Amino acid sequence: MACSTGTEDEDLARGKEPVPQEVQEAIRTLIRWTGDDPAREGLLDTPKRVARAWREYCQGYADDPAIHLTRQFEEVGGYDEIVLLKDIPFQSHCEHHMAPITGKAAIAYLPSRKVVGISKLARVLHGFAQRLQIQERLTAEVAQCIWDNLHPQGVAVVIEAQHGCMTGRGVRTPGVGMVTSRMLGCFLEDSRSRKEVLSLMGY
């Protein structure tokens, strides 16, 4: 086992996770490739900062979103209508360009017998969003996770987001929002239920 470097010891003393040298060098290579000098003062610590930022951006890989749905409640006072959490802000990153995806989500379900704390719906979203993603898959994963673990009568997920790979590069068209939806159960099969939930979401 290799001995840690002085820099790694300093990181540990500060309570920071050491960044492997090969990761830092990869970021230095990228900086050089863009035309800058990774040895100049303002960029000396950038490889570590970038590496730690990406560890945080992608912390969803260490999260099982289904865990957030394990604690369920049956005592709901006879409530049997739609449960909706909307305007949930999130940030993800496009798997094609690793550019930011920023937006909001609306998540709804029609309970069968049990409900979960509303914050758990947001946690499920963030668990999947904090990975390299495409919006279509993110929408489907959130809906399927709730369907498989809560067993409701229906699930509806609508996500609206802007993509940095479109607004900051390529076609360079800011202000454009992409909307995706996934309906399961009664929201898929019954047009009246689907219309009701979309109306409550504001669509």
Strand order in the sheet with 154-163: 132-133, 83-94, 100-110, 154-163, 178-185
153 is catalytic: no
Task: Give every CB contact of residue 61 below 8 A, 6+ residues apart in sequence.
Answer: 130, 131
Interhelix angle 46-57/21-34, rounded to 10 degrees, is 110
Quick one: tokens of 63?
Answer: 């999260």
162 is catalytic: no
Quote the DSSP letter at residue 42: G
Q: Which amino acid is at 129?
A: A
Indicate which residue of 24, 135, 153, 186 is catalytic: 135
Cβ atoms of residues 135 and 161 within 8 Å: yes
Indicate which residue of 126, 163, 186, 196 is catalytic: 163
- CA-to-CA distance for 83 and 174, rounded, in angstroms? 33
How many CB atoms are closer than 10 A to CB 179?
A: 12
126 is catalytic: no
151 is catalytic: no
163 is catalytic: yes
Indicate which residue of 95, 144, 151, 162 is catalytic: 95
Is the Cα dihedral 136, 141, 106, 153 positive or negative? positive
Indicate which residue of 8, 58, 72, 94 is catalytic: 94
Quick one: tokens of 68?
Answer: 């957030």
Indicate which residue of 97, 144, 151, 162 is catalytic: 97
Cβ atoms of residues 130 and 63 within 8 Å: yes
Active site residues: 94-97, 135, 163, 165
